[in-house]
Structure 1
């Protein structure tokens, strides 16, 4: 499949985020050939990502992008640090529209496989932290319904044990990206999942 992202198009999109690309190229995932555009600039390497509508939801692409951006802002404002930094456009939004398609940019994160117990413990901490963030739709003035002490070492150890069993049983299964040098990033968060 031909690359649908010309250098001119990539330059126009990145300039909306205040950056000038020096080099760019697409990176495939297991699910999509041109899933991510890797952009190198003077200030660093970034991921430009087209946003595609989830067809299982009845809302439009723009409404889904707005909802995703709202959820990302909730995570940012909650201090959630287990995701790449999202860039803002010159107008202050987390995304831009180009030729009818929403795009967003994040810092590029060099991915790698989970290999050690510490990797799995860190994954457990990230998931626990994510699940302790109150939804923007809930009353956040009262005490959190989650007892943070429930995420102690025994819970993490249990999680690590189960995750290792799962990863061993899934060896050779297509998980992640074809290129382990590609970005490991926050997935678009569907409304109501936080």
Structure 2
């Protein structure tokens, strides 16, 4: 029982620490304040015509004249219907809205990468905090590049998957995939 506690302690500490640091740094979010992001403001202007059409008719338009003299709306306003990864994302962000949830996600994914590389968990915690709070993440998030930041946050998790796929000890973690061996 004591060895299990010793094994779980760094991981539990990591999650609590990541969440605490994000909540402390972004405490204005807990007071209902929102970061003014220029790209999000511009998006609202570009999407207004398509959203107004959908509200009025109940149908989605596939074209808008609100941007560059006209362009497809799937590049501006996209529906999340049918995207099952949104549920995985909610779980990994602990159901917390951005920025707290998004920065927590970045730290968690980097921590999992460190574990997949067999790095000491305590050192992995330090690396994850450094990754999550790197200057570039703040710059792109403040500008409103939330999908770019989301991609950067998930990159360590993808890298961890690649690392684990090439490790010989993966046999108990993965599942048999017949389409790969066919």
Q: TM-score, normalised by structure 2?
A: 0.27
Greater helix content: 2
Q: TM-score, normalised by structure 1?
A: 0.25
Greater strand content: 1
